Amino acid sequence: MNDEQRYQQGIQVRSEVLGEAHVHRSLENLNDFNDDFQNFISRFAWGEVWSRPGLPRHTRSLVTIAILLGLGREAELRMHLRACFNNGVSKDELKELILHCSLYAGLPAANAAMHMAEEVFQDLGIAPEKINQDQ
C-alpha cells in the first residue's frame, strides 16, 4: 500500500470512528502549517494503526480512552468518549473502564473522566437515569 492509499484508508477509518463531521472539520481547516500533521495523523494513526486487524475497534476505543484518561488529555479524551459508541462500546462498559482506571490512573483522573462522560452523554441525548435516593 502506498502513502496515498494509506491516507485514503485512514480518512475512511477516521470518519467511521470519529464521525464524518469531525473529519470534515479537520479537512476544512487545513492550512500550510497543519497540513503535514493532519496527513500524518490520517496515514499513520488511522490508516496504519487503527486499521490493523489485531484488535477490534471496540477494544481500541477502550484502550485509547484508558490511556487518555491516565495522561489527562482532556480534548482527545472527550473526542474518544463521543466516538466510542461508533465502535460498539456501551455506557456500562465505559463505566467499568473508568472505575477500573481509577485504581491505576488515580481517582482525580477517573473522576474528571466520569464527569466528562456524563457531559458527552448529555450532548448525545443518552443521559443516565437518576436514582431515587428516597427508597
Q: Where are the alpha helices (DSSP H) in 19-129?
A: 20-28, 35-40, 57-71, 74-83, 91-105, 107-124
42 in Cβ contact with 18 (< 8 Å): no
Domains of the chain and CATH, by start: 1-52 (no CATH), 55-127 (1.20.1290.10)
Q: Quick one: pLDDT at residue 135?
A: 63
Q: Quick one: pLDDT at residue 48?
A: 97
Asked whether the whole model's pTM tops 0.85, one would answer yes
Got the DSSP string for 97-116? Answer: HHHHHHHHH-HHHHHHHHHH
* Tens digit of pLDDT at every position of the chain (135 positions): 899 999 999 999 999 999 999 999 999 999 999 999 999 999 999 999 999 999 999 999 999 999 999 999 999 999 999 999 999 999 999 999 999 999 999 999 999 999 999 999 999 999 888 888 776
